[in-house]
Amino acid sequence: MTVNGWLQIALYCVLLILLTKPLGGYMTRVFAGERTFLSPILRPLERGLYGVSGVKENEEQHWVTYAIAMLAFSFAGFVVLYALQRLQAVLPFNPQHLDAVSPDLAFNTSVSFVTNTNWQSYTPETTMSYLVEMAGLTVHNFVSAATGIALAIALIRGFSRRSAKSVGNFWVDMTRTTLYVLLPICIVVGLVLVWQGVPQNLGDYTQVTTLEGAKQLIAQGPVASQEVIKMLGTNGGGFFNANSSHPFENPTALTDLIEMLLIFSIGAALTNVFGRMVGDQRQGWAIFAVMGLLFLAGTTTVYWAEAAGNPLFAHLPLNHLAGNMEGKEVRFGIANSSLFTTITTDASCGAINNTHDSLTPLGGMVPLVNMMLGEIIFGGVGSGLYGMLLFVVVAMFVAGLMVGRTPEYLGKKLEAKEVKMAMLAILVMPMCMLGFTALAVVINPGTSALANAGPHGFTEALYAYVSATANNGSAFAGLSANVPFWNSTLGLAMFIGRFLVIVPMLAIAGSLAAKKIVPTSAGTFPTDGGLFVGLVVGVILITGGLTFLPSLALGPIVEHLSMLSGTTY
């Protein structure tokens, strides 16, 4: 670890904090329907979209109606994306004449992009046409992100409203998110990426002759437009198989910093939106502090593990200065690779600027833990905040048990229904992660796709289902997942991790919105200070530890101990 490395990490943290409040204030005005500096341009377009689609923007929805609208929209998106892939060979904008995508891969990819996971069992530049990339994948990068943000706003309304029967209008929330938040940022930052050298074209791939005389085909296409939304919307699916370690996706140190800021920017800003909408910004900063502490703990662990490297190489000259550079780009180094690794798995992004399969055992354990906790550390756009608020509900229930009174949060009594729904949403994820992993490591269709034996091979399988269920999309590179068994089971895991969490969460939103706000008293647990932050962090770590420690012991922990004794996998 170096001073320069820590300075780069500190710079990122400072910039993120500086972005949080102004972006949060802007987003609050957007979702309140107030005028913004973009209203003169976008408000007529917004009205026109409502007129064409028949949406009445002043009509709000009960939580059940809100959920049905979200599910119907997601299903329609799945069908359209599946059809685009299956018909790819006869559709335009396919200069490489790529064949139709196989049924199992088309299913996996459609579920993946609809659920904001962007798991890619395929090599993008040799599988998907420009039309599928633009009209299919990039569009879903926008709308799946907008859906997640809309759902978070619905839950915030549950905490902020009193005696209400509605939690907002899904179509309005999603439209405003796309028009006023995602599109403007993507247009501006997309142009910056083009300036830095990221391609944005519809031309044929370029064939060149190398210095050795060999022929090489260099892929290009509409890269910048997908790159910016994959980061801002915490989608993660890249135009190239090498993702953000490819020089066409992430060519410079500046683009690396910009892309990392994009990943966390909306998730961090939503904590400020939460504070503003409930009438006390300190509540938002308390949530931000919980996320920040867990983020710094993860970053420190990965940086330490990667800087220490493998002790088997300690005798090599200058190894103590190099650390573990396997799978990392020299232009980013260990500090930025460690930072990117933590950020992308704290959020449901899955983009990578280094190979996670090449991390040291403990360095690779941190991304696993980040996803196992539900990616609540800033998290995916929207999903990070509502996932964290589910843990807050459980933490306040624990606090109520400790002081012997009915738990409450922000003046809302947390009763049996809310606690049961929160626990259901939290527990469905480990059930899916561990259940599918157990199946995959005992049957031949699962084990035949693993490239490594021993604990590292187990971690490959575990990482895949954890990533899919958490809607992350990153992977350990040793897994050959483009086969029917893995495509099907990973697709089911992505579906469960998205929708079986959303529905209980919306039930909580609807229940809380209908409740009155009770005044604070001497027995009210303060939720804007260090005690609250410590309680929530403790509940998250204890819940995650009790649930996942056995599986971690079978994978990265055993592998680390083996590495110390001189055995590698």
Per-residue pLDDT of the chain (569 residues; tens, 9 = 90+): 888 889 999 999 999 999 999 999 999 999 999 999 999 999 999 999 999 999 999 999 999 999 999 999 999 999 999 999 999 999 998 888 889 999 999 999 999 999 998 888 888 878 888 899 888 888 999 999 999 999 999 999 999 988 889 999 999 999 999 999 999 999 999 999 999 999 998 888 888 888 888 888 888 888 898 899 999 999 888 788 888 899 999 999 999 999 999 999 999 999 999 999 999 999 999 999 999 999 999 999 999 999 988 887 766 665 555 688 888 888 898 999 999 999 999 998 888 899 998 999 999 999 999 999 988 999 888 888 999 999 999 999 988 888 777 788 888 888 889 999 999 999 999 999 999 999 999 999 999 988 888 899 999 999 999 999 999 988 888 788 889 999 999 999 999 999 999 999 999 999 999 998 888 777 778 888 899 999 999 999 998 888 999 999 999 999 999 888 888 87
Integer CA distances (angstroms), 459 to 28, 43, 477, 496, in order: 41, 49, 11, 21
Report if residue 89 sits inside a domain.
Answer: no
Report if residue 449 sits inside a domain.
Answer: yes
Report if residue 537 sits inside a domain.
Answer: yes
Report if residue 406 sits inside a domain.
Answer: yes
Report if residue 74 sits inside a domain.
Answer: no
DSSP SS3 for 206: strand
Report if residue 2 sits inside a domain.
Answer: no
| Rounded Cα gap, residues 77 and 349, in angstroms | 20
Q: What pTM does this model have?
A: 0.92
End-to-end CA distance of the chain: 25
- Structural domain tally of the chain? 1
Q: Which residues contact 341 (CB under 8 A, 6 or more apart)?
A: 302, 352, 354, 356, 359, 363, 366, 367
Q: How many CB atoms lie within 10 A of CB 211?
A: 5
| Rounded Cα gap, residues 238 and 199, in angstroms | 13
Report if residue 256 sits inside a domain.
Answer: no
| Rounded Cα gap, residues 555 and 457, in angstroms | 8
Report if residue 314 sits inside a domain.
Answer: no
Residue of 179, 135, 131 whose CA lies nearest to 31:
179
Residue of 461, 463, 468, 469 whose CA lies nearest to 442:
461
DSSP SS3 for 214: coil
Residue of 1, 2, 5 whose CA lies nearest to 332:
5
Instruction: Report angle CA 538, 344, 318 to the nearest 5 degrees.
Output: 95
Is 446 buried (19+), middle (13-18) or exposed (0-12) by CB count in 10 A? buried
Which residues lie across from 111 on neighbouring strands? none
Structural domain harbouring 430: 382-564
Structural contact between residues 486 and 450, judged by C-beta atoms closer than 8 angstroms: no
| Rounded Cα gap, residues 415 and 543, in angstroms | 20
| Rounded Cα gap, residues 97 and 100, in angstroms | 10
Q: Which residues contact 378 (CB under 8 A, 6 or more apart)?
A: 264, 267, 268, 291, 295, 346, 347, 384
